[in-house]
Amino acid sequence: MPEGDTVYRAAHHLNQVLAGRVIERWWLRVPTHATSDLAGRTIDDVVSRGKHILLRVGDLTLHTHLAMEGEWHIYARGARWRKPAHTARAIIETAEHSAVGFDLAVVELLPRADEQSVVGHLGPDLLAPDWSAAEAADRLRAQPERTVASALLDQRTLAGLGNEYVNEICFLRGILPDTRVANTDADALVALAHRLITANRDRVARTTTGDTRRGRQSWVYGRAGRPCMRCGSLIENRMLGEPGRERTTFWCPRCQS
C-alpha cells in the first residue's frame, strides 16, 4: 500500500493542474456514481488526508483511496495513457489536462459536509498543516499492550505511515517491531515518524538512510537475508500483526533488541 508521502504528492500534483479549472469531462466508472456529471463546474482543490484523496467541487467531494494498486495519472489532454483504459475508474478532464484514476479501491461522491464520515476516524495526519505530535503520542500511549508495528500502522493512531516506514522507524529506534508500546518512548517514535515522512514528502525516490542509490535506500525493509548496512548481520523477517492484518516485518538481530 502506498505510504502517506506518495498520496500527499499525488494530491499535490492533482491540485496543481485541477484547482480553479472548469471540468469539461467527468466520468466515474463505478455503478453508484456512473451517471454523475459535474461538467461545467469548477474544481476548488484537491487535498490528502492520511492515505485518502479528497477532490472538492462546490458542495461535493470525490473521495478516493489507492489501497494496494491504485494510481492517479496526469496527462496533457489527448495524450496516450500509460495504463489500460479498462482499469480507469475515474476520469476528470479540463481544457488542458486529463486526470485518470487507475485501479482505485474507493471511488465515491459525497456531500462535502460529510467528509468526516470517511476520514473522521483517522488520527493526526503527519503531513497536514494541523499536525499534532502531542495528540499522536497520546493515541500511541493509549495502546500499551499493542506491538509498536501494529499501533503505528493503525491509521487511527496517526495517519500516513505504511509498512516500510514502520519497519525503518523500529530500526532507527533500535527496537524490534513486536516490542510493546508500553516499553517504548512514544514521543520519540512520533517525532522520528514525522521527520522521516516530511523529509521524503517531495522526493520520488524515498530514502530513510539518506542514500538514494538503488539497494541502499532502506535499512531493513525488503532486505531479508542481506547484510545490515550498519553491523553486517543478516536481516531477518517474519509475519507479524493482529489476525487479518498481518504484515511482513524486517529487523536486524544485532541493532534491534
| Catalytic machinery residues | 2-3, 51, 247
Following DSSP, what letter does each residue of the chain receive, concatenated?
---HHHHHHHHHHHHHHHTTPBPSEEEE-SGGGTT---TTPBP-EEEEETTEEEEEETTEEEEEE-TTT-EEEEEETTPPPSS-GGGEEEEEE-SSEEEEEES-SEEEEEEGGGTHHHHTT---BTTSTT--HHHHHHHHHT-TTSBHHHHHH-TTTSBS--HHHHHHHHHHHT--TT-BGGGS-HHHHHHHHHHHHHHTTT-SS--SSS--STT-S-SSTT-TTSBPTTT-PBPEEEEESSTT--EEEEE-TTT--
